[in-house]
Amino acid sequence: MSGIVGVVSPWYYPWSYVNEPTRLLLAAAFLLLAKLWSNIAAVVLAGYMVAYFVYLVIVSNVTLAQEWRYLRQFEPYLVGSFDSQYVFALILFSFGVYYSWRQLSYRNYVA
């Protein structure tokens, strides 16, 4: 097979309760609870996925430009691609960090 293939094939890991969509659903649900402990749990879940994606890119010797070129050629819409869940994990991670920081700074301000 010539060329480049995706960093993570969607058929590589079978369905389980600890796969990426389940982690994203749990992280989003934790963010909805709006408690400090739930925000930290969302940061941990989404941060694990972001770190795992960075690890896969480093190990596979694929640059992000090559991955993007592959996605544009074989999966023209990012929303339907397998890598879109890592973009969503980055968004959840960012919101979790922001809400956790805001709650911690408010607690320090009140104290």
What pLDDT is stored for residue 13 in this prediction?
Answer: 58
Low-confidence ranges of the chain (pLDDT < 50): 1-3, 11
| Cβ(17)–Cβ(6) below 8 Å | no
What pLDDT is stored for residue 70 in this prediction?
Answer: 76
Helix (H) or strand (E) holding 37: helix 36-59
Domain boundaries in the chain?
20-110
What pLDDT is stored for residue 107 in this prediction?
Answer: 75
Q: Could you tell me which of 18, 52, 35 has the C-alpha nearest to residue 96?
A: 35
What pLDDT is stored for residue 59 in this prediction?
Answer: 85
What pLDDT is stored for residue 25 in this prediction?
Answer: 92
d(CA 27, CA 51): 15
